[in-house]
């Protein structure tokens, strides 16, 4: 395994070179893509109501139309915050691997990835600060790294891809939602157009890396990785249930509300929708043994 890792883990193929080409053609100045003079009227949704964390629950049914719009404002500020922190973490993970021999063939593309994520962090943070006056604190669960480099690298890029897939589902839904203000639709569109390439990179890296992981790890280790990544999926979707956002929206007893809604089957079904594309990919490539998100938890 050690010998193999001195060479690149990642096959240098045409698909990869194409991503670099498109990135060069699609480059933009982050200061020019959004109109920051736009004012957001008080009577609009900031995030599609169907995407709100309380949607489909008795708590949502009890809110007035005005309260729902207020909730959508603070959940969108939370969405920007979650994206900024998530991207900060994934840029750090990619930076530590830049020009490492195992990732040598990916380094050229990593530069584009870092450049684009740097722009995204800037506009998510700027939006949250300008329109919401704050970024919410980072509540993402800190996770330890694996001692085995092959496992650690694989898990790192799997987490990046899972995080980006969840974000992309929300981007696509919001960029098309005409109820939302132009700047919010546009921010989602700009993000989505870069993320398509990142997701393509993620899938390629996962396929290449899983090949070497299969030869280096026993079946029970692979299953432990699957369980860990499913826990990560759950933690990631749960960052959207932010009690501070509920409090800002005037919802009393925010922590109780969070506890109650997170456990609802209707919300778990929504989590499965958010994760559907990445889950299908991981199962179809034999990286996951099943697409059930909560089953392992129930029997442990
Ligand atoms: Fe991004
Ligand atoms: Fe990305």
Distance from the alpha carbon of residue 24 to the mean position of ligand 2, in angstroms: 16
208 C-alpha vs ligand 1 centroid, how far in Å?
22
* Percentage of the residues of the chain whose pLDDT score is greater than 70: 96
Write the pLDDT tens digit of every residue in 3-33: 555 567 777 778 789 999 999 999 999 999 9
Task: Kindly give the distance from the C-alpha atom of residue 218 to the centroid of ligand 1, in angstroms, as a whole number.
Answer: 34
From the CA of 195, which ligand is nearest?
A: 2
Residue 14 and residue 63: Cα distance in Å, rounded?
52
What is the DSSP-derived secondary structure letter of residue 195?
H
pLDDT (0 to 100) of residue 146: 86
Going from the Cα of 70 to the center of ligand 2, the distance in angstroms, rounded, reads 28
CA distance 172 to 162: 16
Mean pLDDT over all residues of the chain? 93
Least confident of 10-14, 64-68, 214-218, 270-274: 10-14
Condensed to tens digits (0 to 9), the pLDDT of residues 88-107 reads 999 999 999 999 998 988 99
Higher pLDDT, 35 or 298: 35
Nearest to 136 by CA among 98, 92, 173, 84: 84
Residue 1: the pLDDT is 44
Q: Which ligand is nearest to the CA of 196?
A: 2
Q: Please write the tens of the pLDDT for every residue from 108-118.
A: 999 999 999 99
In angstroms, what is the span from residue 286 Cα to ligand 2's centroid?
Answer: 24
Instruction: Specify the pLDDT at position 297.
Output: 53
User: Mean of the pLDDT values across residues 25-52?
Assistant: 96
How far is 263 from 244, CA to CA, in rounded Å?
19
pLDDT at 228 over 50: yes
Give residue 161 CA to ligand 2 midpoint distance, Å. 8
Find the 178 Cα to ligand 1 centroid distance in Å: 22
Residues with CB under 5 A from ligand 1 (ion): 120
Q: Which runs of E-coded beta strand occur in 129-276? A: none
Ligand nearest to the CA of 112: 2
Distance 137 CA to ligand 2 centre (A): 21
- pTM metric for this prediction: 0.94
Spatial separation of the C-alpha atoms in residues 213 and 158, rounded to whole Å = 13
Give tens-digit pLDDT for 124-145. Answer: 999 999 999 999 999 877 777 7
* C-alpha 125 to ligand 1 mean position (Å): 12
Q: Is the pLDDT of residue 58 over 50?
A: yes
Whether the CB-CB separation of 160 and 97 falls below 8 Å is answered with no
- Please tell me the distance between residue 37's alpha carbon and the centre of ligand 2 in angstroms: 26
In whole angstroms, what is the distance from residue 191 CA to residue 257 CA?
31
- Per-residue confidence (pLDDT) for residue 44, from 0 to 100: 98
């Amino acid at each position: 395994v050690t010998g193999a890792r001195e060479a690149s883990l990642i096959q240098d193929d045409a698909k990869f070179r194409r991503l670099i080409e498109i990135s060069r053609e699609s480059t933009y100045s982050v200061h020019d893509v959004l109109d920051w003079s736009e004012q957001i009227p008080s009577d609009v949704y900031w995030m599609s109501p169907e995407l709100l964390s309380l949607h489909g629950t008795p708590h949502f049914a009890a809110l007035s139309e005005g309260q729902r719009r207020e909730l959508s404002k603070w959940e969108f500020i939370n969405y920007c915050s979650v994206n900024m922190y998530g991207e900060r973490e994934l840029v750090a993970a990619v930076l530590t691997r830049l020009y490492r021999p195992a990732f040598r063939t990916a380094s050229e593309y990593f530069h584009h990835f870092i450049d684009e994520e740097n722009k995204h962090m800037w506009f998510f943070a700027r939006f949250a600060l300008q329109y919401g006056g704050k970024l919410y604190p980072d509540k993402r669960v800190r996770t330890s790294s694996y001692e085995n480099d092959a496992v650690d690298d694989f898990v790192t890029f799997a987490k990046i891809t899972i995080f980006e897939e969840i974000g992309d589902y929300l981007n696509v839904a919001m960029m098309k939602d005409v109820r939302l203000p132009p700047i919010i639709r546009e921010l989602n569109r700009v993000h989505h157009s870069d993320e398509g390439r990142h997701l393509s990179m993620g899938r390629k890296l996962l396929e290449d890396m899983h090949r070497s992981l299969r030869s280096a790890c026993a079946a029970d280790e692979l299953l432990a990785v699957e369980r860990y990544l499913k826990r990560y999926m759950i933690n990631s979707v749960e960052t959207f249930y932010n009690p501070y956002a509920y409090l800002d929206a005037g919802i009393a007893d925010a922590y109780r509300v969070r506890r109650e809604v997170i456990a609802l089957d209707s919300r778990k079904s929504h989590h499965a929708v958010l994760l559907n594309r990445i889950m299908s990919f991981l199962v179809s490539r034999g990286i996951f043994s099943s697409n059930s998100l909560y089953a392992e938890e129930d029997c442990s």
